[in-house]
Amino acid sequence: MVAEAPSAGRLFLITGPSGVGKGTLVAALLQRHPQIWLSISATTRAPRNGEVDGQHYFFLDRSDFDARVAAGGLLEWAEFAGNCYGTPRQPVEQQLASGRPVVLEIELEGARQVRQSFPSGFQIFIEPPSFEELERRIRGRGTDSEEAISRRLERARVELEAASEFDAVLVNADLDQALAELERLLGLA
Ligand code: ADP
Ligand code: 5GP
């Protein structure tokens, strides 16, 4: 747990089940609003095709990840579908202090930790139009093994039940409409 950073910037957190379209929405948001700073997470997951270290994630082995946890270098961290993911603390605090809007795109357990440490942050839950559509999107993305897909779908059922904990719930049915709604929630529309 951390004390809240003395910041002029605002912390926005985006969560929701794997495959719902978080990455797609955030990429579109950043393209339209380059003043937003997106946190780059650390993970023990192996890079997918086309993922670049330091750009999509900082890819660490488990002992390096554990060392960062032990040194207090992560703002939050969680295990998800067999891998560890965490938010490097220092850059988030720096960007908030500099007054930039900061976006974290993380899973449920991490979101709950951030809710404790940054109670003034704004947390948005992205929902799929249906569970069947979520499954179609995960499969259609074509990046995960059958085992990884099963773990993600199993976890998705738990995550979807937590939607009411969040400051706002946004259904990602039509992408353009969801993006417009996200901009409105972030005060950018
Ligand atoms: P997440 O980051 O939540 O795991 P992605 O952004 O990788 O999800 O999206 C999963 C898949 O769903 C991708 O193939 C993406 O192109 C597709 N997708 C995202 N949003 C929509 C949408 N509104 N309608 C249809 N497909 C979408
Ligand atoms: P993926 O393997 O699909 O990139 O990500 C799997 C899940 O981990 C997604 O729900 C994503 O939001 C989440 N995630 C990514 N980075 C972090 C992080 O730093 N902390 C936490 N708790 N979850 C993260």
Which residue range is the domain that position 82 belongs to?
5-185
Ligand 2 nearest atom to the CA of residue 39, by list position: 19
- Give the least confident one: 7-21, 71-85, 136-150, 164-178: 7-21
Tokens for 70, please give them: 């032990």
Establish whether residue 17 lines the binding site of ligand 1, counting it when its CB lies within 6 angstroms of any ligand atom: no
Report the domain count for the chain: 1
Are the beta carbons of 156 and 17 closer than 8 angstroms?
yes
Domain CATH for 167 = 3.40.50.300
Q: Assess whether pLDDT exceeds 90 at residue 107.
A: yes
Pocket of ligand 2 (CB under 6 A): 18, 22, 41, 45, 76-78, 80, 85-87, 105-107, 109-110
Local structure of 143: helix, strand or coil: coil
- Strands 42-43 and 83-88 turn out to be antiparallel
- The whole-angstrom separation of Cα 101 and Cα 54 is 20
Q: Which of 13, 18, 24 to mutate to test the pocket of ligand 1 (most atoms within 8 A of CB)?
A: 24
Which of 188 and 173 is assigned the larger pLDDT? Answer: 173
